[in-house]
Structure 1
């Protein structure tokens, strides 16, 4: 073989090897950079979403009524979940109320309620925060019921001085529920057996692979009864009714707006505009006063709404649907909730 051919082969081999090494190095470097960018992006998003939600609330510089939207299921703030489509933001509203307490431009609060209710803890925490606001500021709180104002949504509204309900609204559902999902028969069919090592016979009560004993049912019923008595007391105080009278109508049923007015669960049946006019007249401020809600300035709210909308249009798998059933209908959480 001629010398020139040998040199040509060697040069070609070196070039191929060099290109290969360069390609591998480029891929490795690119992968590292991509991972770094992803980590940095994730870190930035988490930082933005976990930052003080109150910091993003800029109150109006003129007189305003604070609007709090009690919409969707009431529970812990969903702002940490980018894929959540729930509109209720518990932490944001608590911070908003705190800021309004300190603002001399705030003249009152309007609750816009369109909710089936939710967790006992968050419902009561929001109610107590609103009562604290009233005590500290002596300013009015009114509530408007849209399509539904049930259970926890009604509970929170007991802080209101006056309640208007849309004529097509369903409200009431005064009661408490704990839902559990029992999969024992399914487990038996599949040959699955749940084994729990516990410190006591009732430690694993409510587990999906075990049947409830009578004692365990009684334990859960006692929790429900206690929360129910608390609910009844809140309604009796908020609506200036006798406790026994509240219990007569508080069997968990829902009422139409007309029925609710007849039994004193709401004050008036009318439109949102009707209420705003009446609110302005009775409280003594201008009808064109600003009604301000903090969601538009909330970065976490923007992200959750955006990704929640995407989640809503993506079809769910069978596993996702099964998880939803367990999470929403059988998670054992004490709720003021209308099924």
Structure 2
């Protein structure tokens, strides 16, 4: 009985000590899940040569906002991709990069910044880039593929959706049912444009359409410059519809329909590398029997069920923030 009491007191003392250390900020950090703070390490996926091709996953909603989920916090997709390009730029043995894209797009600015960073990497490093389109590489997902030297799509890829969209969530009907009103004092008649608490005016609708037209035109211009399409092809692309990999090839949006080995062979060809060149990835954690199909360099988020889209109001299917997106989101008109 005495031993039991002593053991209980020791346990309580240990718990109190740990609590005091935590409050004092002195406790060692214990992480049950990776949060992106560990340094990136190279992992060989295949090959035995000295020269390397880097595989970079571009997966999920394109954003510069960190992911905050139930299992911890991760850097944004923009940060994850750019950090890997920076390391590849410094490594003389990395001779080419494959971007494995599985994304329905995302924010206009985040997509444009990533496009700029990929373009800058190619220009300053002189290393070729091959984009490999997976399940979905639509809208912003295709936007970030445009700077690549070559684009390879799977036969079952969904791509295209070349255009912009402006989401404005509305809760006016719900507020009326609940008997709730919002009063706004503003310095100009368009100051609260996009407010979810009222219907848009005709002037606001025209302003939003002008803004969307400008963003959409920018996207189309980049496609025209990168892909050298005919006017007839551009007319089809400008409808902002999606295409299969084979349809995209016929339209000139991609260079080849194939699989990972096709993209790897193309990267080796562009960089003039031997067949035994390594395919490598930068991971922040180690995986046994790792392969190029491992997308776990960041928290896995299916392309059509993105964590950023799960934060929507009552399953409306719309992004939780009002704004302009290069985003393909099926089911919304």
TM, length-normalised to structure 1 = 0.75
Q: Paired residue for 1:305, among 299, 303, 308? A: 299
Do the aligned partners of residues 89 and 238 (structure 1) sit closer, same or farther apart at CA in structure 2, a change above 3 Å counting? same
Partner of 2:19: 34
TM superposition shift of 1:92:
2.1
Q: Whose RCO is larger (CA < 8 A, sep 6+)?
A: 2
In 2: Cα distance, 1:155 partner to 1:333 partner:
18
Is contact 1:78-1:304 (8 Å) kept? no
Give ranges in structure 1 of 5+ residues lacking alignment.
1-22, 313-319
Partner of 1:167: 155
Q: Which has the higher helix share?
A: 1
Supply the RMSD in Å over aligned alpha carbons.
3.8
Pairing of 1:102-141 with structure 2 (within 5 A): 102-141=90-129
In 1: Cα distance, 2:268 partner to 2:184 partner:
59
* 1:39-93 deviations in Å (ceiling 9; x for gaps): 6669876xx9586x8x545598942212221111111243555647999721121
Do the aligned partners of residues 150 and 42 (structure 1) sit closer, same or farther apart at CA in structure 2, a change above 3 Å counting? farther
TM superposition shift of 1:263:
0.8
> Is residue 322 of structure 2 the alignment partner of residue 332 of structure 1?
yes
Partner of 1:11: none
* 1:91-125 deviations in Å (ceiling 9; x for gaps): 12112212222221110110101111111111111
Q: Paired residue for 2:179, among 191, 209, 214? A: 191
Is contact 1:115-1:148 (8 Å) kept? yes
Pairing of 1:190-269 with structure 2 (within 5 A): 190-241=178-229, 245-269=233-257
In 2: Cα distance, 1:29 partner to 1:130 partner:
52
Partner of 1:277: 265
In 1: Cα distance, 2:215 partner to 2:184 partner:
29
Give ranges in structure 2 of 5+ residues lacking alignment.
1-8, 287-294
Pairing of 1:78-117 with structure 2 (within 5 A): 78-79=66-67, 81=69, 83=71, 89-117=77-105
Partner of 1:143: 131
Greater mean alpha carbon deviation, residues 107-116 or residues 323-332? 323-332
